[in-house]
Amino acid sequence: MRLRILIFVLALLAFLSATTGGWLYYHSFKKAALQKAETNTKSRLELIQRQLSTYLAEHIKSVKALANIKECRIALTKPDIDSIKNINNILDNFNNALDVEVTYILDIQGNTIASSNRNAPDSFMGNNFSFRPYYKKAIRGTGTTYLALGATSKKRGVYYSYPIFDRTKILGVAVIKASVEFVESSLFSRSQGILLFTDPNGIIFISNKEELRFMLLWDIKEEKITQIRESRQFGDGPWTWTGFSMKKPGTVISRLKEHYFHSSIRLENYPGWEIIHLRNYKDIKKIIADPFIKIIGPIVVIVSILIGIAALILYNKAAQEIVRRKNAENELRLSGERYRNIYHKTPVMLHSINTEGRIIRVSDHWLEKMGYEREEVIGEKLTSFYTEDSRRYAEDIIFPEFFTTGFCEDIPYTYVTKNYGKIEILLSCYGVRNELGEIERSLAVSVDVTEKNRTQMALQETKAKLSQYSMDLEKQVAKRTEELQKTKDNLKRLSENIMISQEREKAIVAGELHDHLGQVLTALRIDTVWIKKLLSQSNKDAESRAEKMCSLIDNTIDDVREMAYRLRPRVLDDLGLVDALESMISDFEKRSNVSCVFKHKKIGQINETLTTALYRITQEAVTNALRHSSASSIEVELKMDGSLLILNIKDNGCGFIKTDENEINTFGLAGMEERADLAGGKLEIFSTPENGTEICCKIKMEV
C-alpha cells in the first residue's frame, strides 16, 4: 500500500510538475510571441516607411527638370499652336519615360494649358486647379509634393509641382502626377492584419482593405469634416467613420468590440501622415494557443513541449536567417537601383556594348537624344544607328583596335536619330574585362560636337571663300589688311573658345564621374563590406556573393576613375604641366610594353590655355605612336631654349611618308597642329619610313 501511495504521489508530482512547467512555458511563450509580433510589426513599418518615402521623392528632380525646359516658358509667354504642340510632345516624352499617370502645365491663373492626357475622356485641358495646395505653394516659388484624390480623374495620386520661372518672374507651374496603385499593391497588399496610410485628419488614403479607403479612422468633429470637404483633397465625401477608437496606447477597439494591436510610424517630410498597422488580438492569441489545445496526456505534453521547443528554435533561426537575407537582398536591390539611377540620369550619352557590338545598356540621355524607346535599341547593333561612313570606319578600324587595346578616345562618329536627323559625336570608350582579362563589354561616353563641327565647317568655308576672293582683291590688300587681321583674330578666338569649351565639358563630365558616381560607388562598397561581415558567420554562400560584389564594385570604381582621368586629369589643374605629363607618360608605360621616357628642364609660369594645348598634343602624339608606329621606345622632352618653349616627342617606330604638299590629313595630327597654332606656336613633323617619327612644337614666350 505504501509503495502504491509513493508511486501515486510521484506520478502526481510528475503530473503537477509537467502541468506547471507547461503552464509556465505557455505564458512565457505567449509573452515572447507578443513581443516578437510587436518587433516584427515595427520592423515592417520602418521598411514600408523607407520604401514609401523613396517612392514619394522619386519625381521631385524630374518635375524640376520639366519646369526648367525652355519650351515651358515659350508656351506660357507665347501660347500659339506650335508652342503648345512642342510642350505637349515634351510632356508625352516625360510621361512615357517616367511611367507616371499624367504630366501637365498650369498658367499663372491655375488653368491647364498642356497635358499628356489631353486626348483622354478625363483630360485636364482647360480645368482650373488654383485651389490645390501644390499650385498655391508653387506659385509662391516653392516646389512641393501633395497626395490627393484627382478632382477630374477621381484617381488617387502623388502630385509633384515646381514653379516655371522666367528669370525672377513666375510664369506658371509644372506638375507630375504619379499613381499610388503600385505602392498599394507592392507594399500594402501582402501585409497581415489591417495596414493603413492616413492623413493628419485620419482619412485613410492607402489600405490593404479596399473597403476602408477614404473612410475616417477615428471619429472627428463636424468642423473638421467641413474643412476636409472645403479643401477638396479627397473629393466630396462622405467620409464615414470606421468605428475604431483608441482606448489605451497600443490598443484599438472596433464597433464589434474586437481588440486590435495598434502600431504606427510617421512619414518624414509629411507632417501628420502616418502608416498604421492593426492586428486582431484573437488572431495573435489563436496562433499562440493552438499548439496547446491538442494536448491530451503527460506523454503528449512532454513530446509536444519538446517538439514545440525544437520547432520554436528552428523557427527563430529560420526567421532570423530569412530576415537577414531579405535585408541583404533589399540593400543590394536599393544599391543597384541607386547605381542604375545615377547611370540613367547622368546628362551624358552613355552606352555599353558586348563583344558582338550589340547594345546591352543605354542611359536615358542617350535615348532622349536619339528619340528611341529603350526596347527599340537593346539587343541591336550599335553600328545600325551610324551613318554608312561611320559604320564602315567603326567595323573596319575602331572595333578591332578597341577589342585589342581595351580603350579608345575622341573617335568621331555620326549618329542617325529616329527622325533621321544626324548627331556628330566624339566617343571615348573603356573596355571592362572579366577575371581572365578578356574584354566582355564596353563603357562608352559620347559627347555631342555637332555644333562645334558646324562651326569648324563654317570656318573652313569662310577660309575657302577668302582664298578665292584674294586673287581679285590684290589691289585692296593694303587697305584691307587690318580688317582681315581682325577677322583672323576673331576666328582664332572662336576656335580657342571651342577648345576651351570642349576641355571644360570634359572636366565637368570627369568631375561628375569622379566625385558623384565615385562617391556613390564607394558608399555602395562600404555597405557591401558591412553586409559581407554580417553574413560571414551565418551564410557562406551569401558571404561569397557579397565578396564578388565588392570585387565588381572595386573594378567599377577603377573604371570610373580611369575614365575621369582620361577626360580631364586633375593633376593638370592641381600641380601643373610637368607633373601632369610625367603622370601621363608613366600611365602609358604601365598600360603598354613600350618604354616611355620623360625629360624636362625648369620652365616658367605658363597660362591654362597653353598648358592644356601642350598636354593634349603630347597625349595625341604618344597615343598615335602606341597605336600606329609599333614603337618600342618613346621619348618626350620639355625645355626652354631662350624665349622658346619646346616640346619634342620622338619614337623609334615605323614612321610614315608625308605628301609633297606637306598635308596633315588625319584628325589627330590636324588637332595637334590646330592646338599649337591657337597657343601661338608652330608644330613640325619629321618622319620617314623605318626611321620613326619626331613631332616638335615650338612656342615663343613673352618676356
What CATH number did the domain enclosing 169 receive?
3.30.450.20
Give CA–CA dist 646/617, Å, rounded: 12
Together in a domain, 661 and 548 = no
Q: Is the pLDDT reported for residue 450 higher than 60?
A: yes
Together in a domain, 584 and 666 = yes
Together in a domain, 338 and 392 = no
364's enclosing H/E stretch is helix 364-370
Q: Is the pLDDT reported for residue 156 higher than 70?
A: yes
33 in any annotated domain:
no
Phi-psi category of residue 126: left, alpha or beta, with phi > 0 → left and psi -120 to 50 → alpha? left
Q: Is the pLDDT reported for residue 436 higher than 70?
A: yes
Identify the weakest region by mean pLDDT among 317-331, 376-390, 536-550: 317-331
pLDDT in tens, 102-134: 999 999 999 999 999 988 888 888 889 888 898
Give CA–CA dist 538/531, Å, rounded: 11
- Read off the DSSP letter of residue 658: P
Together in a domain, 308 and 370 = no
Task: State which of 10-24, 79-93, 238-252 shows the largest mean pLDDT.
Answer: 79-93
For position 12, what pLDDT does the model report? 64
What's the whole-number mean pLDDT along residues 157-168? 89
For position 36, what pLDDT does the model report? 74
What's the whole-number mean pLDDT along residues 617-629? 84
For position 220, what pLDDT does the model report? 86
Domain boundary among 568, 596, 620: 568
Total of domains in the chain:
4
For position 105, what pLDDT does the model report? 94
List of residues 6+ apart from 114 with CB closer than 8 A: 75, 84, 87, 88, 91, 104, 105, 125
Together in a domain, 552 and 589 = no
DSSP, collapsed to helix, strand or coil, labels residue 659 as coil
pLDDT band at 312 (very low <50, low <70, confident <90, very high): low
For position 662, what pLDDT does the model report? 44
Together in a domain, 362 and 337 = no
Higher-scoring residue by pLDDT: 178, 261 = 178
632 in any annotated domain:
yes
Q: Is the pLDDT reported for residue 625 higher than 80?
A: yes
CATH number of the domain bearing residue 612: 3.30.565.10
- Give the residue carrying C-alpha cell 578597341: 402
For position 3, what pLDDT does the model report? 45
Do 479 and 526 contact (CB within 8 A), yes or no? no
Q: Is the pLDDT reported for residue 664 higher than 50?
A: no
For position 559, what pLDDT does the model report? 74
483 in any annotated domain:
no
277 in any annotated domain:
no
For position 661, what pLDDT does the model report? 45
pLDDT band at 700 (very low <50, low <70, confident <90, very high): confident
| Neighbour count for residue 594 (Cβ, 10 Å) | 19
Task: Provide the angle, in degrees to the nearest 10, between the axes of the packed helices 450-470 and 477-511.
Answer: 170
- Read off the DSSP letter of residue 216: B
Could you tell me what percent of the chain has a pLDDT over 90? 9
For position 90, what pLDDT does the model report? 92
Give CA–CA dist 18/27, Å, rounded: 14
Together in a domain, 413 and 323 = no
Do 365 and 381 contact (CB within 8 A), yes or no? no
Q: Is the pLDDT reported for residue 374 higher than 80?
A: yes
Could you tell me what percent of the chain has a pLDDT over 70? 80
- Domain range for 680: 571-700
Together in a domain, 618 and 685 = yes
Q: Is the pLDDT reported for residue 162 higher than 90?
A: yes
pLDDT band at 33 (very low <50, low <70, confident <90, very high): low
pLDDT band at 696 (very low <50, low <70, confident <90, very high): very high
What's the whole-number mean pLDDT along residues 400-409? 87
Together in a domain, 668 and 599 = yes
Identify the weakest region by mean pLDDT among 52-61, 155-164, 689-698: 52-61
Together in a domain, 576 and 564 = no
For position 51, what pLDDT does the model report? 82
Helices (H), 281-363: 281-293, 298-345
562 in any annotated domain:
yes
678 in any annotated domain:
yes
For position 282, what pLDDT does the model report? 77
685 in any annotated domain:
yes
pLDDT band at 297 (very low <50, low <70, confident <90, very high): very low
- Render 91-143 in DSSP notation, one character per residue: HHHHHHHHT-SEEEEEETTSBEEEETTTTSTT--TT-B-TTSHHHHHHHTT--
228's enclosing H/E stretch is helix 222-231
What's the whole-number mean pLDDT along residues 265-289? 80
pLDDT mean across residues, the chain: 80
Higher-scoring residue by pLDDT: 394, 318 = 394
What's the whole-number mean pLDDT along residues 327-342? 74
pLDDT band at 175 (very low <50, low <70, confident <90, very high): very high
Report the candidate in 338, 611, 559 with the shortest Cα–Cα distance to residue 428. 559
Indicate if the alpha-carbon torsion angle 86, 87, 89, 90 is positive or negative: positive
Give CA–CA dist 358/646, Å, rounded: 45
For position 551, what pLDDT does the model report? 84
Give CA–CA dist 344/365, Å, rounded: 7
What's the whole-number mean pLDDT along residues 309-338? 72
List of residues 6+ apart from 693 with CB closer than 8 A: 625, 629, 650, 651, 653, 655, 656, 685, 686, 687
What's the whole-number mean pLDDT along residues 541-563? 78
Domain boundary among 416, 448, 480: 448
pTM above 0.85, yes or no: no
pLDDT band at 466 (very low <50, low <70, confident <90, very high): confident
Domain boundary among 548, 568, 588: 568
Give CA–CA dist 8/28, Å, rounded: 29
What's the whole-number mean pLDDT along residues 534-551? 81
78 in any annotated domain:
yes
Q: Is the pLDDT reported for residue 202 higher than 80?
A: yes
Higher-scoring residue by pLDDT: 603, 480 = 603
Together in a domain, 575 and 695 = yes
For position 512, what pLDDT does the model report? 63
Together in a domain, 325 and 360 = no
Q: Is the pLDDT reported for residue 674 higher than 60?
A: yes
What's the whole-number mean pLDDT along residues 391-419? 88
For position 109, what pLDDT does the model report? 92
Give CA–CA dist 352/359, Å, rounded: 6
The amino acid present at 322, given as its one-letter code, is: I
